[in-house]
Structure 1
Amino acid sequence: MELRQLQYFVKVARKQHVTQAAEELHVAQSAVSRQIRLLEEELGVNLFVQKGRNLHLTSVGRLFLSRIERIMTDLEKAVSEIHEFLDPEAGEIRVGFPHSVVLHLLPTVVAAFRKFHPNVKFKLRQGTYNSLIRDVSKGDIDLAFISPFPENHEYVTGDLLLTEELYAIVPQHHILSEYQTIRLEQLKDESFVMFGEEYSLRTIVMEACLKAGFTPHVGFEAEETDTIRGLVAAGMGVSLLPEMALAEGGSLRPIKVRISEPRVTRTVGLIHRTGERLPPVAEVFRRFLLEYVHSR
């Protein structure tokens, strides 16, 4: 069994098409087909089944892929660690983040880090709470900003960075826009602009509203804080957003109002895979980030 065969197998499994896999691998289609056939002969099983123009994994193929992907990830990390050992200032850090963190914290800290480590590269990946947990657990990324911070998790661990207050946001001419503080129940008759159900901020807002004694009416759903701010500013409803997501604003700016009862907060943390040492350059960044956040 050769490394090349495994690489071809993973690529075909992901693309479900030999021709497309060959194009990305920059090799002839016949070469890919031959290596897959040799791999199947050595294993004594069929890894793929033809369905129309696509190749689909058999049940054995899916099992084999799950194991091989872990091996390939570990191999890539081993090679990367060797390169970083030889020149830690030329390494790459793979960082995941939710959209509400990228607006302010991530660009600021990366810019500050690059002043001291100008040759370090960053590979960034945006995701939801569950996708970031999955990507860290699988080793697809080294570190991930995440909210809320998972206190006890089987596959990831990390550091709590901060606890952040959520504010109510309302249109500029809303009756509550002149208030310094409000109780959350004062929004019970409003239409809310919410994140989709896969986003952790939606859960935080829903739980806070239930604690205040009402179930919010969701008039609009969105995937980014910019969209939510714009819809609220345009008079489409109200919402709750963390202070970090309100640091910047476009031409449409809602009014933010502090919530006195109940106090609504979220935690933001930095996670990595449990029981595994970070690549040297990622560990340098982690320590820099903790010192940066805690000094402010």
Structure 2
Amino acid sequence: MDLQALRWFQAVADGETVTETARLANITQPVVTRTLARLEQEVGATLLRRSGRRLHPTPAGRLFKEYADTVLARWDDGLRAISEFVEPDTGVVPLGFMHTFGTWLVPELISGYLHAHPGARFDLRQDADRALIDTLRSGAVNLAITTPSPDAPDHLRWRRLLTEPLLLAVPPRHRLARRQKVRLAEVTDEPFVVLRTGMGLRTLVEEICHEAGFAPRIAFEGDEVATLRGLVGAGLGVSLLPSQQPGLSRGAAPAEAARGEGAVPLIPVSSPVCARQIGLAWFDDHPLPPASRAFRDHVLREWPG
């Protein structure tokens, strides 16, 4: 079986059009079409079905893609392992992380590692916490910076790196805006701006509010923390947001630093405890290539949790 055919199938099944796939591969569209048709003949099932401009995987295609993803990830791992065996200090580290860590934690981890390993390279992927577990399982990344999974699959290892406070974000002219600390129960009747259902931070916020004795009244559901913060600033509601402050990982944050920046006040919560655990995850039944293993060991050594 042609690995290139698998890559083109993977790209189309992930949402690219045949035209886009051909353009990125610098070939003609009929070549991709014929290659995908030969793949279906070899597999013995229809893998893709047209809907509008795009091809979408059939049930058989979705099943086959799981195995195609694994084959391609293992092949890429093998190429990386050989490259790192020859030049271990210039290897690639495939690293996944949640969106909220891209502004402070991931840059700090990477810069510290590159200081000791200047030839290392990173293949970075952002995603929601639960999706990162699937990305890890498929082998698309070797390591992921994420929160703990309550239903962690077998062989998933997670080591805590730090505890990050969650702060109450309120509009600039809110009655609590100048407070040094608040109890979460003080916003029982306020509308909340939160992430969508299924995202880890959304679940955590609901659990904390339940501990404070109320269910949050949802005014808006978003996909990114930056959007939530902007809408809080516009007066749409309040929210519990990660501090996202560089340096919080090394100890307790000063009160003034924890209050946040810009137009949206971020206020520490005195009760209940408002924080999330952040750690490094990997599957111990997937042998880590040398560069990824070196990065994991560096992070666990420098950030013992």
**Structure 2 length-normalised TM:** 0.83
**Aligned match of 2:249:** none
Q: Structure 1 pair 187/88, CA: closer, same or farther in 2 (3 Å)? A: same
The separation in 1 between residues aligned to 2:221 and 2:51, in whole angstroms, is 37
Matched, 1:292 2:302: yes
**2:293 is the counterpart of 1:283:** yes
Shift of 1:161: 1.3
Q: Conserved in 2, the CA contact under 8 Å of 1:97 and 1:132?
A: yes
- Secondary structure in structure 2 of the residue aligned to 1:283: helix
Secondary structure at 2:244 match in 1:
helix
Q: Are residues 216 and 292 of structure 1, via their aligned partners in 2, closer, same or farther at CA, if it must alter by over 3 Å? A: same
**Is 1:251 aligned to residue 262 of structure 2?**
yes
- How many matched pairs? 294
Equivalent position SS for 1:278: coil
- Bigger Cα displacement from structure 2, 189-198 vs 128-137: 189-198
Q: How do residues 1-296 of structure 1 correspond to structure 2 at under 5 angstroms?
A: 1-14=1-14, 18-49=18-49, 54-150=54-150, 152-154=152-154, 156-244=156-244, 251-256=262-267, 258-294=268-304
2:12–2:56 Cα contact (<8 Å) kept = no
Instruction: Judge which range, 128-137 or 13-22, deviates more.
Output: 13-22
Name the Cα RMSD after superposition. 2.9
How far apart, in 2, do the equivalents of 1:3 and 1:236 lie? 50
AA partner of residue 235 (structure 1): G
- Larger radius of gyration between Structure 1 and Structure 2: 1
Whole-angstrom CA distance in 1 between matches of 2:61 and 2:266: 54
- Consecutive unaligned residues in structure 1, runs of 5 or more: none
Deviation string, structure 1 residues 61-112 (Cα, Å, up to 9, x no partner): 4433332221111111101110011111211112111122222211112112
Distance 1:196 1:14 in 2: 22
Shift of 1:199: 2.1
Q: Assess, with a 3 A threshold, how the Cα gap between structure 1 residues 59 and 181 changes in structure 2: closer, same or farther.
A: closer
Q: Is the 8 A contact 1:164 1:267 kept in 2?
A: yes
1:43 deviates by: 4.5
- 2:93 is paired with a residue whose SS is strand
Q: In the alignment, is the contact (CA less than 8 A) between 1:70 and 1:138 conserved in 2?
A: yes
Q: Is the 8 A contact 1:95 1:142 kept in 2?
A: yes
- For residue 156 of structure 1, report the CA deviation from its aligned partner: 2.5
Q: Structure 1 residues 107, 42: closer, same or farther in 2, change over 3 A?
A: closer
CA contact (8 A) 1:170 1:233 kept: yes
Distance 1:62 1:148, change over 3 A: closer
TM-score normalised over the length of structure 1: 0.85
Aligned partners of 2:236 and 2:43: how far apart in 1? Answer: 59
- The answer for unaligned runs of 5 or more in structure 2 is 246-256
Which stretch has the larger CA shift, 216-225 or 91-100? 216-225
- 2:209–2:216: 8 Å Cα contact kept in structure 1? yes
Given that 1:149 and 1:268 are in contact with CA atoms closer than 8 Å, whether structure 2 keeps it comes out as no
Pair 1:74–1:248, CA change in 2 (3 A): farther
**Distance in 2 between residues matched to 1:262 and 1:276, nearest whole Å:** 39
